[in-house]
Amino acid sequence: MVDRRSLAIGVLAVLVAMSHVESGHAQGTGAPTRGEGAGAPGAGAGGRGAGAPQGRGGGGFGGDAGPFTPAAGAKDLKSVLFNWTWHMGMLRSGNESELIKTLDYHAAGGTIQVDGQPCTLTKYRVQANYQVPGYRAQIQCTRLNKQKYSNVETVSGEYAWDEDIPGAELVPGKGKATPKPAALEERLIRLWASPHGAPKAAIAGAAGLPTTQSFGQNPAVLLDNQGKAGAKSTTTLEWQGEKAIITYPIPGVPGAMAKATLVNYLPESVVVTHGPNKTEFIYGKWADWNNPLFKIEALYAGTIVERKNGTVVRSVTAKVTEIGQIYVIMPVPDSVQKAGK
């Protein structure tokens, strides 16, 4: 007789694999034609090379590349935003829509600052959802005095809280959720300055829309349509030599402005100023960090260094990611909602 459990696992594996192929076929496993070459960040490890897209021939598997192809060397805002998301592998489907909805990130190691002191990470996992904006960061580390530290930092919409276990209080009697309204802006900055959050927020700002409404559309077509509708862009572009500097507002944090510096259309840094504070995110070693069985040419930063007012508060290296349309939610516990925003 057939082992039903084994059969179910096999069917699930096939369905998961099919979902990855479907979500990834715009970038695909075929030869990219949009300026691939050596010398670009991530080149040789799933990265796309320097230069602007050079014609349509790809879209993965030899299909149509979609409704927009920037001119070679184009330096206008629409082309740069399109190239940014294209080179990162965020554009999917035949229409090259921006379809990266979620992230599951596991760090190989690093340090995080706890109470002003470095704490060596033994676990750092971030699960983010960009369409229902929020993330959950599971942190376990060891202080200099060998004391263990554990916390789950969570943000969803206009709420921020800590959990002693992931999903605390969602099941009555399981775990403790502690409201952290003072941490809301810091966590939203971290979300919208992240490797995926930054281009999403920049496109939304250029389109004059919330990030939830810019998701799922071709960036160039979106900006054309919004321009015809009279939308006002809050995203700007300038060039410093071959580096594109994109400035955009951080969603949900009034007065916070981010400045992303792109090299070969991949961000080497995102610097956020908010009042007297400056938070810098330094990114490097761009590659497809997904499981070897599910490589879909979706790039992520292999190294992330976060500095606040000049002090390093986080430094992590990637181990593995899961990028695409996975199930990630951060429901707000009743106790956190009752505590207020």
Q: What is the pTM of this model?
A: 0.82
Count CB atoms within 10 A of the CB of residue 208.
Answer: 18
pLDDT of residue 162: 98
Alpha-carbon distance of 69 to 85, in angstroms, equals 13
Residue numbers of the chain with a pLDDT score lower than 50: 1-64
Q: How many CB atoms lie within 10 A of CB 200?
A: 26
Radius of gyration of the chain (CA): 20
Distance CA 301, CA 197 (A): 12
The per-residue pLDDT of the chain, averaged, comes to 83
Identify the bridge partners of residue 273 per DSSP, sorted by sequence position: 257, 278
Other CB atoms within a 10 A radius of the CB of residue 40 amount to 20
| Residue ranges covered by each domain of the chain | 23-102+192-324, 120-189+328-339
- The residue type at 168: A
Structure tokens at 189: 């900055």
> DSSP 3-state assignment of 252?
coil
> With contact defined as beta carbons under 8 Å apart, do 161 and 167 qualify?
no
Q: Which helix (H) or strand (E) element contains residue 314?
A: strand 311-324
Which residues are paired to 151 by β-bridges? 139
Q: Which two tokens stand for residue 225?
A: 């349509």
CA distance 60 to 29: 6
The structure tokens listed for 74 are: 């184009």
- Report pLDDT for 329: 66
- pLDDT (tens digit per residue) in 210-259: 999 999 999 999 999 999 999 999 999 999 999 999 999 999 999 999 99
